[in-house]
Structure 1
């Protein structure tokens, strides 16, 4: 049974006949405070501890490798699923002291955005709630050992969260449950390439959850060039979805609009003016993001700093809230992403070969 299955855990506790407070202390130690497995299990009475540990699944993932940035406070974690596939999570230790975890929701991604290494994998498999949650558990343990606390969770890792919608919702339910992780929804963000109906469903179910739209252009032709799904979900549908999100969510909640700055493609002042017009009247906050080059998109180049700042100044002058972001972990991102792609492709080919042999 999984450690987040409250009903099954309580049934086991009754079977083993120990104090429910001991079970509560165990869950709090592991899920909320990031204590080690041994420390958390130490909350279970000694006479039933071994039996309890043999029947409760603490982890759905194996930590394959850890890559720490030598430039900043980023750590890229590679986890292996029980199916043998690799996924990534990234710990971001922000200079202000806040710590954020970037979580994956899929192996690979079917959105196939031109600028994204994950979308080039040719693999898209949903992660289960235990696999998504274990990224949080193991990252929290790493941070607790450093005397840090995990503050924010962002679904900005591998995968399109709304292509794994029901598992995403089950994960959020567990994350926000007071008996489990007790993570405030206001400190969780789900980022999507833009599935309008799913965005609205999510906001209705979790109105205090933060949502981010990977927009990257307010020009339909340009957006289709870099985001294939834009053909299916055009800009007018996305704008109607943002209007509905603004209606559903509290007035204090802004939709994050992510805008990747690509030289000669979407970074002109004319593009900035298009963006201002498209966002007019919406409650949003724009993030201007630098592009990290990937091997599979040699034709794409990031805008230089002065261009990004001029673009941002134009948005601010028009009254939009705007933040110019700077990358963390750039020295570990590319090599790590390539490793995941190669390893997963090799594993997928091996499985296919084995299946053909059996047939």
Structure 2
């Protein structure tokens, strides 16, 4: 069998606390969340609830801006407030109660309305990563939205009335760098093996102890020689069945890796191609026409496009991850090493192209 995964190190208290969400958006996403600060404008029920959803998972910090005091009517619609806060600052009350939810988060407040801040010190909002506002009058909302658009700070505006609610998002551009596909397909490059993989595949004897990938490569070569149209991989059910039968005819009862190769025929080919969504990004003007104000996302996109077109024969960088395979440990680790090294090499080429673009734009290298 392949080597078992290494035992996970003991989790820190923070990792235990945020374990479920880290599984969703990863350590990188959690780090970004913990570095971010938000501003909550107006203490309303919907505003507090929205802020709560960021405080609990560990936002870096928040500031509440509200110049009013707690009134009787607030007690009936905002679960954060009770009678002990009547007549007191809404901003202070909300800040204290939100911070109690998560001591890891830094809380602050200003007893000033949005109108006052916009009229006297509009740059107050410039340093936040996100502003959440609720139940503003139209004139104030438009002024706030205009200011935040100028400084490129995202705005979430929410409003509630009884059982009805609306939410609007104002943001210039939002780039998703990391995604979790629903159906993951491992990129094995069997139909277009890179040099190190080709040498390994051609120089390793196929036995019952090697990973199924080598078995599949062996019989793929046999199948390819039988094709009159020069096909490199089976494209339909009939052709895939031909490949399965070629493996099945020669396998012995105890060859589990051959059985795994038969099961892998459906999923082992075709990865590494540029999907439509990524092609759209490559063709976007923002990808080709970089400038000093370009988001780092577009710099990476152009570097990736250059790598795919000019350095990797139309293929994406190799992820370098293998599925589990029945094999002896040495054979599986050797294959893992080949994929991992190629993945590092591909990533390094894209990285250096990013640095080249940053220098051309006279921007600091990262």
Same fold (TM over 0.5): no
Q: Which has the higher helix share?
A: 2
For the aligned pair, the TM-score class normalised by the smaller chain equals: under 0.3
> Which entry has the higher C-alpha Rg, 1 or 2?
2
With normalisation by structure 1, the TM-score equals 0.25
Q: Which has the higher strand share?
A: 1
With normalisation by structure 2, the TM-score equals 0.25
